[in-house]
Structure 1
């Protein structure tokens, strides 16, 4: 079992080894396979076919498996590393430690949003974007969104989602107004527009973090490690609230065959949400 630490508590050596593992995974071609995989499984409400990764009850377990598989690929390069988490309710400015020169680098420059600092800057020759919706080859960021009006979620925003004792609810997509899943994923909103937790982080970072190929930015993994931690905290806070839907949806339900119930296997892995409810035997959070 390994430990996932808050990124602000990483030592200089831990940062260096994690960055080195990221860069080696990129050189091998494996990193881009993870980016493409996420893009393939980003299926929106209006698109045809099953939805395992987004706008769906399996948002949490699918990304738990995705993150774990990625972490195992890093550990095959360096067994000492694990994916840290970024608590964006606390480290919520461009001056936060994760954006340092020796870690993820900072914001993109004006104009083309190209990241010019840190080990993932294209000018150093180690991080070329190959899976993208545009022809841009470099990592991009635009903190605060196009007009600088996007803020990172607050502790109150997270608490609003965490208070909901129900895991998910019909219609089991981005329109669900009840349930922790949609409030934390970020499609459901309150009167104060607080239901944009996960989504708002993608929008705040900007650049390649907006869209289906968001893992092109290494911060994706730190973001989703925190999302995974929040799911675990919600489970502890609501021990009687299980994953929903618990059984396959009935005939005539428009979501039948589109969303995954508790014991249905999640593509592309041979694993069910039921098998991913408890992470305790695999890793822990510090």
Structure 2
């Protein structure tokens, strides 16, 4: 069982091991299979038809399973590695997260947002599976005046007691899931993607390695919410179309249901 730490608490060695494992997955082609999986899922999800990984109740269990599978791939390279989380309420543009020795910096405003230093420049990190034409990692922090969510924003979302509501899509009101995903209220998850911008703003967002740290924090917030509201109050339980009920399988894993992902304590904890 691994412990997922706040990235601000990682040692220099832990950061190096995580980066090295990501680079190894990239060289082997394994990393790109995860990018392709996310592009296919996001492009397949729609408010008015089938939706599994986004705009739906299974947004959170789907991404929890996705994180687990990616973490297992990292651990096949280096068993000591666990995914850390990026708490964007305390770590903004000046954070050591963006050091050249870790996730690398913001992109160049004169080079289409290209990240020109750090471990994930085009030489080490060519984008061959992508959702736009750029073959290199791009970032543009805070473009268009977007800010990162605050601690108050997070608390307002954690205070919503109902997991989700009909019509189970981006219009759902009074929904913890939809508020956390970012279509309602203070806009948490989606807002961070837009703040990083560039590669993170499209369906190929996992091409930016910070994607995994961002989604770890989203998963932690769901875990925190579950600790207060109970782990098994996912809705809908049964009887709906187009969305994944509690005991229906989630594409692409075949036999994995949302209920299977309610309790992560045997796989990892947050520290």
Q: Normalised by the shorter chain, which TM-score bucket?
A: over 0.9
The 5 A counterparts of 1:42-53 are 42=42, 43-46=44-47, 48=49, 50-53=50-53
Deviation at 1:51, TM superposition (A): 1.1
Q: Which residue of 2 aligns with 1:253?
A: none
Q: Contact 1:166–1:241 (CA<8 Å) still a contact in 2?
A: no
1:136 to 131, 134, 137: 134
Deviation at 1:158, TM superposition (A): 0.9
Paired residues in the alignment total 268
Q: Contact 2:127–2:135 (CA<8 Å) still a contact in 1?
A: yes
Q: Contact 1:166–1:179 (CA<8 Å) still a contact in 2?
A: yes
2:52 is the counterpart of 1:21: no
Q: Which residue of 2 aligns with 1:87?
A: 87
2:201 to 190, 210, 214: 210
Q: Which residue of 2 aligns with 1:101?
A: 100
Q: Which residue of 1 aligns with 2:6?
A: 6
Deviation at 1:134, TM superposition (A): 2.4
36-45 vs 24-33, greater mean Cα deviation: 36-45
Q: Contact 1:141–1:209 (CA<8 Å) still a contact in 2?
A: yes
2:261 is the counterpart of 1:283: no
2:223 to 214, 224, 232: 232
Q: Which residue of 2 aligns with 1:252?
A: none
Deviation at 1:236, TM superposition (A): 1.0
Q: Helix, strand or coil: the match of 2:91?
A: coil
Q: Which residue of 2 aligns with 1:247?
A: 238
2:270 is the counterpart of 1:273: no
CA distance in 1, matches of 2:103, 2:68: 20
1:186 to 157, 182, 188: 182
99-108 vs 239-248, greater mean Cα deviation: 239-248
Which deviations, in whole Å up to 9, do the C-alpha atoms of 1:129-185 show, x marking residues without a partner?
Answer: 11222221110000002x3x0000001111111111000000000000111000000
**Runs of 4+ more than 3 Å apart:** none
1:152 to 148, 152, 160: 148
Q: Contact 2:101–2:118 (CA<8 Å) still a contact in 1?
A: yes
Q: Which runs of 5 or more residues in structure 1 are unaligned?
A: 250-255
Q: Helix, strand or coil: the match of 1:284?
A: strand
Q: Contact 1:99–1:106 (CA<8 Å) still a contact in 2?
A: yes
Q: Which residue of 2 aligns with 1:168?
A: 164
161-170 vs 231-240, greater mean Cα deviation: 231-240
Q: TM-score, normalised by structure 1?
A: 0.91
Q: Which residue of 2 aligns with 1:116?
A: 116
CA distance in 1, matches of 2:24, 2:231: 43
CA distance in 1, matches of 2:209, 2:131: 17
CA RMSD after TM alignment: 1.2
Q: Which runs of 5 or more residues in structure 2 are unaligned?
A: none
Q: Helix, strand or coil: the match of 1:272?
A: coil
Which deviations, in whole Å up to 9, do the C-alpha atoms of 1:28-48 show, x marking residues without a partner?
Answer: 001011001001011343564
